[in-house]
Amino acid sequence: MSQLLIAIFILIAGIALIIFASIHAVKHSAILAAALGISPLIIGITLVSIGTDIAEIFNSIISCSLGHGDIDVGDSVGSGLTQITLVFGLLPLITGVIYIHRKDIIILGACEILALIVIFTIVEKGYITRLNAILMVGSLGIYIWLIYNANKESIMERVEMIEKIESPKSKKFHVLIAGLGFGGVTLAAYMIVESVIIISSVLNIHEYIISFFIVAVGTSLPELAVDINALRLKHHQIAIGDIVGSCIVDSTLSIGIGQVLFPQAVTAALAVPTVLYTLVVSLIVFITIAARRKIDKKAGILFISLYFLSYVFLFAFWIQV
């Protein structure tokens, strides 16, 4: 029992650390890049697409390096589902109605659906080869190009925000803080993976399930925090770009980077239904948003319901299996 309590404490501490460290790592990296003369447009595109997914990316590398591919896939797929349903659903309840351009959500949604279809065709085999992983990671370049063309408004808003940054601190300060941030993310990812392994062993619950339902919520919290702030500043397109962009990164770079370095087997009996459920739910979410061109409280409640329905649907499916 003491081992379980310690593992749970480490998991909570790891999630808290990865949220705090990832935010500071990304923030000070952006400031440093701007100070070094890197194009604000490049920084803006990077932040819109992968900035808030540092937690999942590092978790992928650490979990695969330790031989636990299920934690990588479970966290990445679970994060995608959490963001597209729970995060999307909570935002209008917290900040009010979000208005969205139909063209933007159709293009962004199509990218996410395509990425999920690719994952489905790969994980049903029960393993991810290095070539498959390279193709998944490489496809992010195509999606970023599509994201930029569909989401120029939000990216340019972010570029303007970056250009206004005036930091009194020296470059060495930002290097130090960014370095500590990435170091904290690495340590936190290791804490999370090791705690999941212990909790899975003690409770006899598969590590994929813990990663999909618990770790994914923790690693999705940075998106929620960033998007609440963006919406309060009336930057609706930035929030939408962050959420859907993060889902696309989860379905490409986050799930694939660890597998490129350390290819691992995946439990297809668990991965296939979660990917399929995420795919179907994503279609429902994107069609709903495209048809209504907004996310209000009614849509928010629907999306949150779809998230919690996953507990019922997936557990019922696994019991039958």
- 3-state SS record for the chain: CHHHHHHHHHHHHHHHHHHHHHHHHHHHHHHHHHHCCCCHHHHHHHHHHHHHHHHHHHHHHHHHHCCCHHHHHHHHHHHHHHHHHHHHHHHHHHHCCEECCHHHHHHHHHHHHHHHHHHHHHHCCCECCHHHHHHHHHHHHHHHHHHHHHCHHHHHHHHHHHHCCCCCCCHHHHHHHHHHHHHHHHHHHHHHHHHHHHHHHHHCCCHHHHHHHHHHHHHHHHHHHHHHHHHHCCCHHHHHHHHHHHHHHHHHHHHHHHHHHCCCECCHHHHHHHHHHHHHHHHHHHHHHHHHCEECHHHHHHHHHHHHHHHHHHHHHHHHC
pTM beyond 0.75: yes
pLDDT at 58: 87
Within a 10 A sphere around the Cβ of 182, how many other Cβ atoms? Answer: 19
pLDDT at 237: 66
φ, ψ of residue 107 to 5 degrees: the values are: -70, -45
91: its two tokens? 């935002």
* Angle at CA of residue 265, ends 260 and 269, nearest 5°: 130
* Cα–Cα nearest to 175, from 70, 32, 291: 32
> What are the angstrom distances between the C-alpha of 35 and each of 156, 158, 162, 265?
18, 16, 10, 42
Instruction: Find out whether 77 and 310 touch, Cβ atoms under 8 Å.
Output: no
Report the C-alpha gap between 184 and 193 in whole angstroms. 14
Digitized pLDDT (tens) for each residue of the chain, 321 residues in all: 788 889 889 988 988 888 788 777 777 777 777 676 665 555 655 665 676 678 888 889 999 999 999 999 999 999 999 999 998 899 889 888 888 878 778 888 888 899 999 999 999 889 899 999 999 998 888 877 776 666 666 566 655 555 565 566 677 787 888 788 888 888 888 888 889 889 988 888 889 999 999 888 887 877 777 777 667 767 666 677 777 878 888 889 999 999 999 999 999 999 999 999 999 999 999 999 999 988 899 999 999 999 999 998 887 776 665
CATH of 2-320, one of 1.20.1420.30, 3.40.50.280, 3.40.190.10, 1.10.3470.10: 1.20.1420.30
